[in-house]
Amino acid sequence: MKSSVSVFFAHGAERKMLLTQPGLRSASVGARRVPLAHSAPAQRAGKKFPLSDSEGRKYMTLNQLLYVVEVSKTKSINATAHTLFVSQSCVSTAIRELEDELGIIIFNRTNRGITVTKDGETFIHYANNIIQQCKLLEEKYLGGEEHKRHFSVVMHHSTFAAKAFAGVVKEFGLLDYEYSIYETKTKTVLEQVRSAKSELGILYISTFNQDYYEKIFKELDLIFESIAEYEVYAYIGENHPLAYRDEIDLSELEEYPCLIFDQDENSSFYFYEEIISAYEYKNVIRTSDRATTIDLLQELDGYAVGIGTANDEKSVNGIRAVKIRTDEKINVGYVIREGGCLSEMAEKFIELFAADVTLSDGELRETQMTNYFSNLYPIDCAVLSVNAQSYRKYGTLPEHEFLPEI
């Protein structure tokens, strides 16, 4: 039978002490500055972890989660104890008793040091989320100043999301909000949403990889909401020999380089953004951003695979879209955490995003091309400043390692 384990939040004098980590402010108790790790009720009373109530239900403490997360970073109980101003035996005992109660091994301890087990990776992922949320609570309510609300979107190299994001910024303004938007790899899109670093993730899912994604969504407690389905097109330069064809086969493009967005080295090929991922592209050039892709499409007679609608006579920045003969379709939609509540900004973003991707054929063709191959949307310059501040605050977008191996 599984035990019932909850997270213990301190009462009384400790109710204001959410979390103390290196670089964060210690909580105040009377006239002294005392780190949280020194002030947990169970520690002061000499009680063991986990705590339990009168009915025998067990409780994890924030201290235990903090110890586990810190040890996973330092790979050393001694270093963790030094960093958090507690004894080595306190850290070791708290973690050991937590493992005993949960019935899992979080760390392998050897003469060579400490390594994280597979069960430990999963536990640390959730523990770290709780610690990060506590940091946000402390910053918001104990920081002594009013903090801006944050809205973040992470996405495939989307042609629609930036315009919807700009609409959200214009609707809600810059005074009370902080915004972030990232174009990145599939694995990072999923992990950013899963860990609540971003509220929404924009994905393109093809007929080919749909079953795989459904399995991943279930594993990660995510929900994908489809907005529209499209046919597959090749983006090519207007001077390309095939630029003015109504339709083409992929076999006709074999001699030309295919531009694809790079993914993690260990990622499944199902994670590639290109619509027909099962096709064996003979000449491949990997890129990480749209600007480079556009330059190479024009300079090398290359092509990129994406979505579009019926061809017409329009080119945007020297790029045209030609339909590829295939039965495959592409689903455009967004992914959110299961059971999560969307903010007003997220709901507005979805409204604007859906309006863009469900335009009529003619409108979509022009919007799709303009969005993909133009430089910037007409957003106030202040938006770029806000995004720069977010970048400086949070650093580069991390690559996470906790997605399941399926």
Quote the CA–CA distance of 278 and 258 in Å, as a whole number.
Answer: 14
Residue 53's pLDDT band (boundaries 50, 70, 90)? Answer: low
Q: What is the pLDDT of residue 371?
A: 47
> What domains, with CATH codes, occur in the chain?
5-142 (1.10.10.10), 149-394 (3.40.190.290)
Q: How confident is the model at residue 378 (pLDDT cuts 50, 70, 90)?
A: very low
- Residues in Cβ contact with 59 at an 8 Å cutoff, skipping those fewer than 6 apart: 5, 6, 7, 8, 50, 51, 52, 53
Residue 316: predicted pLDDT:
63
- For 387, the 3-state DSSP assignment is helix
**258, 285 Cβ separation under 8 angstroms:** yes
Query: H/E element holding 77?
Result: helix 77-84
Pairwise CA distance, residues 355 & 276, whole Å: 26
Say if residue 360's pLDDT is above 90.
no
Contacts of 398 (CB under 8 A, 6+ apart): 188
Question: What does the pLDDT read at residue 258?
Answer: 85
* Residue 395 pLDDT: 37
pLDDT given at position 207:
80
Confidence band for 67, pLDDT divided at 50, 70 and 90: very high
Tokens standing for residue 189: 């899109």
Mean pLDDT for the chain overall: 71
Q: Residue 295's pLDDT band (boundaries 50, 70, 90)?
A: confident
Model confidence at 118: pLDDT above 70: yes
Note the pLDDT tens digit of each residue in 186-219: 888 898 999 888 999 998 888 878 888 899 899 9
CA–CA separation, 394 and 20 (whole Å): 18
CB within 8 A of 254, min separation 6: which ones? 282, 283
pTM for the model stands at 0.55
Q: Report the amino acid identity of residue 230.
A: Y
Task: Please report the pLDDT score of residue 139 as a whole number.
Answer: 72
